[in-house]
Amino acid sequence: MTTEQAYDTVDMMLNMGPQHPATHGVFRMVLTIDGERVVDVTPHIGYLHRGSEKLAENESYGQVVTLFDRLDYVSNLNNELIFCRAAERLMGIEPPERGQYIRVILAELNRLASHLLFIGTYAIDLGAMTPIMYGFRERERIQNMFESVTGARMMHNFIRIGGVKEDVPPDFVPRVRALADDVERGVQECDRLLTFNEVFLARTRGIGVIDLPTALSCGLTGPSLRASGLAYDVRKDYPYEVYPYLSYKVPVGENGDCWDRYYMRVLECYESLSMIRQCLDQMEEGPVMAQMRRIA
């Protein structure tokens, strides 16, 4: 057999999912692989379709909030906020300032919990065991805070059209300050362990590159879009709630690879912590719900 014949191999088709430990959700991919290199992939989505749009047709506006809770189990409060903001805009309702501050604090804590889950699970998929311990430890602290404020660790149903369900506990501000300090230390630990680790860099730098035109055509948003080089953040470009009163940076990547998408989330953790502290400094006493008629 000649050397040329020895290397003349046929690509292999591999079915991955829909139940697979690396997907962190129900998602199927049909991969075409050449050795360890993925040549092509055909995604099969829809396994988590809940029919929320159809269900919402027969619910009141207030009841729809519970459906949005379930669209993303690691970012419940942000989904509640999206719907309530849309309904408020249509109805001309402006939540009171204290209610807006509470919303933003909880939304940024939820963003932290989501990013910590990403960092920990991404690291363990690449062979690093320790970061998931740090990430889940801090995420657990955030979940405990959510439980003390909303009464539920997940599926909170706390944000309402016009504000929030009720005011926060009396010790909320000092507890969140202490929580922010603890979470920051956890993020720093993950950052030191992973970001410039040679093995981690070898497995993420230049891998899965998505250039900006491709990112835009595929509808990427959030840190995944910013990793491809576009400084676009709705909180900054179309500010809402009390975000105009906060000072923060929008991290932007350069290469659009796996490392950039990871590092955007690390940097966003630091920015979220800064925003939370600013909100705690600025928040004053007052009502948390707008005065309005009952919404059907």
The pLDDT, as a whole number, for residue 186 is 95
**Residues in Cβ contact with 95 at an 8 Å cutoff, skipping those fewer than 6 apart:** 88, 103, 162, 163, 241, 288, 289, 290
The pLDDT, as a whole number, for residue 26 is 85
Enter the tokens of residue 261.
């998408």
Query: For the domain bounded by 52-282, which CATH number is listed?
Result: 1.10.645.10
The pLDDT, as a whole number, for residue 258 is 96
- For residue 50, the tally of other CB atoms under 10 A from its CB is 10
Q: Where are the alpha helices (DSSP H) in 57-129?
A: 61-69, 76-91, 97-125
The pLDDT, as a whole number, for residue 46 is 85
Phi, psi of 40 (to 5 degrees): -155, 160
The pLDDT, as a whole number, for residue 1 is 46
User: Count of H helices and E strands in the chain?
Assistant: 12, 5
Q: Which strand (E) or helix (H) includes residue 159?
A: strand 159-160
**Residues in Cβ contact with 121 at an 8 Å cutoff, skipping those fewer than 6 apart:** 24, 132, 135
* Low-confidence residues in the chain, pLDDT < 50: 1
Query: What is the residue extent of each domain of the chain?
Result: 10-44, 52-282
The pLDDT, as a whole number, for residue 49 is 85
The residue type of 31 is L
Alpha-carbon gap, residue 102 to 289, rounded angstroms: 11
Alpha-carbon gap, residue 90 to 96, rounded angstroms: 17
Mean predicted lDDT score pLDDT of the chain = 92
